[in-house]
Amino acid sequence: MRNFTLKVINPILLLLVLFQVATAVLRGSLYEFFHTWHPIGGSLLVLLGLIHLALNWNWVKGSYSGKAKTHK
Ligand code: HEM
């Protein structure tokens, strides 16, 4: 279930990052669209980012615990 959720969330995260950048770059010509959708995309990005972090929490702990055999 965890892997499946990550397989769904990760590509969406990538698309949301690209959406944030694209709407920011084009904000001059898409003024209304930017003000409506950039904050919504950003909020979704934060939410999915936190879920992504939670689902990878064991990896995060392992990387910072000092017990990992690699990544000193
Ligand atoms: C965590 C993700 C993000 C959140 C929550 C977020 C949120 C926001 C919000 C609420 C605004 C104000 C919108 C408005 O005036 O109606 C804003 C503005 C802006 N954001 Fe984002 N954003 C995010 C990511 C990004 C990214 C990845 C970029 C570009 C690489 C970006 C570039 C900008 C720019 C250029 C503005 C306009 C600033 C201005 O004109 O004063 N944002 N953002």
- Is there a domain that residue 45 lies in? yes
Out of 20, 40, 44, 51, give the residue to mutate to test ligand 1, the one with the largest number of ligand atoms within 8 Å of its CB.
20
Q: Of all protein residues, whose CA lies closest to atom 6 belonging to ligand 1?
A: 42
State the pTM of this model: 0.87
Structurally, the chain folds into a number of domains equal to: 1
For the Cβ of 43 lying below 6 angstroms from any atom of ligand 1, the answer is yes
Whether 66 is in a domain gets the answer no
* C-beta separation of 23 from 30 below 8 A: yes
The predicted structure's pLDDT at residue 66: 80
Q: What is the pLDDT of residues 11-50, one digit of tens each?
A: 999 999 999 999 999 999 999 999 999 999 999 999 999 9
Q: Is 11 in the pocket of ligand 1 (CB under 6 A)?
A: no
Does some domain include residue 37?
yes
Range of the domain at 29: 2-57
Residue 70, pLDDT > 80, answer no
* d(CA 34, ligand 1 centre) in Å: 9
Structure tokens at 49: 């980012």
pLDDT for 69 equals: 61
pLDDT of residue 68: 56
